[in-house]
Amino acid sequence: MTGSPLPTRFILERYRELLPVTDRTPMVTLGEGGTPLLRSRSIEKELGLKALYFKLESMNPTGSFKDRGMVLAIAKAVEDGAKAVICASTGNTSASAAAFAVRHGLKAYVIVPDGKIAMGKLAQAIVHGADIVQMAGSFDDALNVVRELATRHPVALVNSVNPHRIEGQKTGAFEIVDELGDAPEILCIPVGNAGNISAYWRGFQEYYELEHARQLPQMWGFQAEGAAPIVNGAPVAHPETIATAIRIGNPASWDMAVDARDRSGGRIRAVTDEEILEAYRRLAAEEAVFCEPASAASVAGLIRQHREGADLSGKTAVCIITGNGLKDPDTALGVTAQIHRAEADLPSVERALGWA
């Protein structure tokens, strides 16, 4: 018996005509893209949506959406003769940059905010052999430093201020339309440095212009309340949130995100850490989606919009699940759990389970 064929082409090949890929671009892949669109089994009904899907970007090779933009940014850096790459990161960008750098035989340098990066992400940068600097200050401070470093030293900057990152990232929108046959009415996405929301909007627009989609989605972006510069309309000097991935006070793609919000008739709103954690727990316990806290912000935001009166009936929404829950075991272990202890014998385990 044979099954249906697996998609074999990776995003640089699959969407080659819509990307700045040339004959000299090294077509190196780690298997990024082609991520599942998982239908909700519980939250969809509660919110009265026609359909709710989770785009599991957590299933990319380094466990986050960053791989889509990074595969292109690093290939283009190599095409331009780079021998090393550098980025500032709250963790996922550095994990992705470190992995793709290995594959291309480049050196990776990563600057991360001291003590504010989830353990799994740091582990990834370490095992892939990146040179890591833990810098005092926030992600925003680190980004300012790497921008300057990239002008003084022979290293390619692979943060999302590198336009190839946004270009590669827009393929997430292409995949949603390819799978659903059209854009959803609502796209929910966490906002940190604001590259991803900008990229998705670009992807949806390009597909719309090519008539691959009949409609454009409203872009609904969500920031953590303690790190909500776009919502507040002013930079946040000392951003704070449990969702360390989006602990950002002065997003680089601020203007593009506002443009995506306004031109799509969307919204960018804040959610509290409590709401993020509640959505994080529900995603794991009700939907079998184990994501990191920042990713849960998209779902927390959708739930809050519904509570505040947004009419979702008859609509299809897609929430971008940006990163894998395994990256942040500390948060997972903080969820109240029932762990029973037992001796090494059957009756003891039966007693622990309450079966005897």
Q: Is 218 in the site for ligand F0G (CB under 6 A)?
A: no
Q: Is 292 in the site for ligand F0G (CB under 6 A)?
A: yes
Q: Is 192 in the site for ligand F0G (CB under 6 A)?
A: yes
Q: Among the candidate windows 88-96, 102-110, 228-236, 304-312, which touches ligand F0G by CB under 6 A?
A: 88-96
CA distances from 291 to 33, 36, 48, 321, 331 (A): 17, 14, 23, 7, 11
Which C-beta is closer to ligand F0G: that of 193 or that of 315? 193
- Tell me which of 40, 60, 89, 264 binds ligand F0G, using CB under 6 A: 89
Query: Which run of H or E residues covers position 281?
Result: helix 273-287
Q: Tell me the closest approach of the beta carbon of residue 23 to ligand F0G, in angstroms.
A: 30
Q: How many residues bind ligand F0G (CB under 6 A)?
A: 22
Q: Is 113 in the site for ligand F0G (CB under 6 A)?
A: no
3-state secondary structure 3-28: CCCCCCCCHHHHCHHHCCCCCCCCCC
Q: Is 138 in the site for ligand F0G (CB under 6 A)?
A: no
CA distances from 348 to 146, 338, 343, 351 (A): 57, 16, 6, 5
Q: What residues contact residue 4 under an 8 Å CB cut-off, 6+ apart?
A: none
Query: Which run of H or E residues covers position 121?
Result: helix 119-127
Kindly state the tokens that stand for 47: 């919110």
Q: Is 245 in the site for ligand F0G (CB under 6 A)?
A: yes
Distance between CA atoms of residues 269 and 134, nearest Å? 30
Q: Among the candidate windows 194-202, 228-236, 307-315, 344-352, which touches ligand F0G by CB under 6 A?
A: 194-202
Q: Tell me the closest approach of the beta carbon of residue 286 to ligand F0G, in angstroms.
A: 20
Distance between CA atoms of residues 144 and 169, nearest Å? 22
Q: Show contacts with ligand F0G in window 150-189 (CB under 6 A).
A: 160
Q: Tell me the closest approach of the beta carbon of residue 311 to ligand F0G, in angstroms.
A: 27
- Tell me which of 29, 40, 138, 193 binds ligand F0G, using CB under 6 A: 193
Identify the sign of the CA torsion 43, 47, 53, 58: negative
- Taking each helix axis from N to C end, the angle separating 195-209 and 171-180, rounded to the nearest 10 degrees, works out to 50
Which C-beta is closer to ligand F0G: that of 312 or that of 319? 319
Q: Show contacts with ligand F0G in window 21-80 (CB under 6 A).
A: 64, 66
Which C-beta is closer to ligand F0G: that of 184 or that of 192? 192
Q: Is 217 in the site for ligand F0G (CB under 6 A)?
A: no
Judged by the rule CB under 6 A, the positions of this chain that interact with ligand F0G are 64, 66, 89-93, 160, 190-196, 245-246, 292, 294-295, 322-323
